[in-house]
Amino acid sequence: MKTFLHVFNTWIVSIFIAAFISFVCELNSNEWFDPFLFPVFFYFLVAAIPSFFISRAFLALIQQAAYSNYEKLFLWFFTAIVSVVLNIFILLLVFVREIISTEIIFLFWPAYAAVVVTIVLRSKQFFSLVNKTTHHETNLV
C-alpha cells in the first residue's frame, strides 16, 4: 500500500506541475485567460492514467532490487520518464495510429520536466519508502 500511495502522490503532484508549466507557456502567447485550460487539466489526468500503473509496476521492481539507495533513485528517475514515454506511445497508437516520430515525443517536455521536479521534491519520501524494514514475528529476538 505504501508503494501505491507514493506513486499516486508523485503522479498527482507531477500532473499539477505539468499543468502549471503548460499554463505558464500558454501565458507567453499574449492570452491571459483561455477557457480551454481547465479541461486540459482533466485531460492530463485521464491521459496520464497508464503512466501511473506503469510507474507503480516499475517502483515495485525497484524497491525489491539489490541496489544502493541512490542507484534506486536514479532508476526511479529513469523509469518514471520511461513510463511517460510509454504512455505517450500507448495513447498515440490507440488514438492517432500514425507513424510515431521523435518530434512528437519532444512535444511533451512539460511532462518530463514535471516528473523530474516532482521526484526531486519527493526524494525524502522515496528514501523512507526504500529504507523501510519489515518486522516479522520471528524477528522478536
- Measured between alpha carbons, how far is residue 134 from residues 62, 71, 137 in Å? 17, 21, 10
In this prediction, residue 102 carries a pLDDT of 78
In this prediction, residue 85 carries a pLDDT of 92
Three-state DSSP class for 56? helix
In this prediction, residue 65 carries a pLDDT of 87
- pLDDT means per 10 residues in the chain (141 residues)? 87 89 73 66 84 92 90 94 91 79 84 94 91 61 53
Maximal C-alpha separation, the chain: 68
